[in-house]
Amino acid sequence: MAPARWVLPLLPLLLPALALGPAGEPGWAPPPEEALEGAEELWSELRDAGLPGDLPELEPECRRLLAAFAEDSAALSACLARRARPVRLCQGCHPLYRRLLERYRGIARAVGNSSESHNCAKSILTSDRLQIVVTLSEFFNETWETANCANCLKNNSEGLSNSTVEFLDLFNKSLTCFEHNLQGQTIYLSPNNYTEVCKNCNETYRMLNDLYNYLQKMNRQGGESGHSAHLCIDVEDAMNITRKLWSRTFNCSVPCSDTVPVVAVSSFILFLPIVFYLSSFLHSKQKKRILILPKRIQSNASLVNIQEKYS
């Protein structure tokens, strides 16, 4: 086999020949499979010929870490895509996301390795401009944070929080109630008549709506997950679906538990103008009172003036 110092200078002359046929006709190119096999054989020959070490291959341990990250990335991508509609990302994909984080940390921990040939972090994460592993990791982290999945999970992200489990249980009960009461109606004959659904599922829907409002209030204050932000996308999407079914599809009224306070406050506001005008009227009547001097006092004053005139 020719030494590397002879093979490398010939590469610029050998590579254009790949675009020529057996008869040297221009425009011919081998099929992709044959071209790939030829490139692999050429690379193997150059490596065996003593190619300089400026293009080292990954060490077995680094190759294992990279392969594991690739498999977990593919699994997480498939999980996110399958649960995109209806949204079930957080409750279905959190084990895969945690495992992918561990894979990435395993690669990043190789930075402290003293041997440059075993530095997996440098070889995998920062050896090229594209940095595909870093880009993939940032994409998954951004997707997870945008979905606010941490607000559906416990602090250690090992599973769903108790409040999320309670909400999803009520959500499933609401959908079951909708389906059960729809089966007893002739929808095709009266498609806008959902009185049975509104009457029989009112209590379940009210409990679900109240729980959602409570979770929103607690989450603004930093709830069970310790993150003060929106609720996770799974809970928000489930509540949006239920509200659309209840108000738009079934045309049911939304229950309001604060009817008495609202009526009391409204009555008080309406009564304020009456109080204002009444008090203004009474105050103005008091100002119109005029002090009238008695006639006797006026006559005595006139007599005094006459006496002074003729005196």
pLDDT single digits (tens) 69-112: 999 999 999 999 999 999 999 999 999 999 999 999 999 886 54
Closest among 135, 150, 309 to 229, alpha carbons compared: 150
Q: State the residue for tokens 């109630």.
A: 177
Distance from C-alpha of 230 to C-alpha of 208, rounded to nearest angstrom = 17
pLDDT at 174 over 90: yes
Read off the tokens for 307: 């006496």
Per-residue pLDDT tens digits for 43-67: 566 556 555 544 457 788 889 999 9
What's the pLDDT at 162?
93
Q: How far is CA 152 from CA 77, 79, 109, 133, 160, in A?
A: 20, 17, 29, 27, 6
Q: Which of 169, 311, 165, 171 is closest to 238 using CA atoms?
A: 171
With contact defined as beta carbons under 8 Å apart, do 107 and 69 qualify?
A: yes
* Sign of the dihedral defined by the CA atoms of residues 240, 245, 251, 254, in that order: negative
